[in-house]
Structure 1
Amino acid sequence: MSKASFTSRRAPFHHYVLAVSLGIILTMAVSVLVGASNPDDFWLAAGIGALCAVYPAMSLGAKVFVSNHTVARDAHGEQSVELQWMRQAGAGSFIDVLVATIAAAMVLVIGRIAVDALPILLALVGLSAVDVGARYLVIRHRALK
């Protein structure tokens, strides 16, 4: 499913420094914002915010500054069989979720049932995720037989 492959090339040293610097700056910004949102326990909140933000921030720095030198884009990555399976699963799942939504709306309208929207929307999100996953596994199983 990957559209990229790693190379043996290395990025210039200053790109690694820039990546780490960006990661540190973003981590500090997030930790200060999280700490400011909880002024009673500023340092605890800032520490938790920093722990949660350090990996994504460093990854973003590596993506922005380093990956252009160390990762080669596959010219035909969008033609992978796994990506085609995922597209088929997503298209089928869309129809399933659309039909389920229409059926649920009809039941609610005809039965004049009043429910909160949030649990229904969360159930639809869960249904779509499970449906895509199940369809992908079935398509993959059929293709690999």
Structure 2
Amino acid sequence: MKIDDVNIEIIKELRNGRQSFKKIADKLGITENTVRTRVNKLREEGVLDICGLFDPACLPGHQSVIIGIKLSAANLVEKGEEISKLMGVISASVVTGRYDLIIQVLFKPGFGLLEFYTNEISKVQGINTVETFVIYKAYNLKVPYVL
């Protein structure tokens, strides 16, 4: 799918996910139907998701962590996809640097770091090492509720 300047402007306007297509159309000088059609196409193509995001620090007992993972083999994409499906995983990324993957995980009461490592990460073969970075204070961090 070709992403043009209009698509980018629509995506920017959707930072406020509750804004109507009519308001977006008026602001961009296009028709409401054009906005609706483009948003639907962006969603179908997997370019755009519209969802509610929250700050984990605002919900009691919820916390987000970042985990660096080194793998024993070079099957980065396969392992990234596998890990992305584990409970609590917000995102999994293949990266450069000292880790092969960086993941962000959401915890809640009854499902914390111990449960994640014991019940989720332990299912994945080929992990050499992990390093956990606990987020004590985040700025502009909003995540989908994945638990």
Q: TM-score, normalised by structure 2?
A: 0.22
Greater share of strand residues, 1 or 2?
A: 2
Greater share of helix residues, 1 or 2?
A: 1
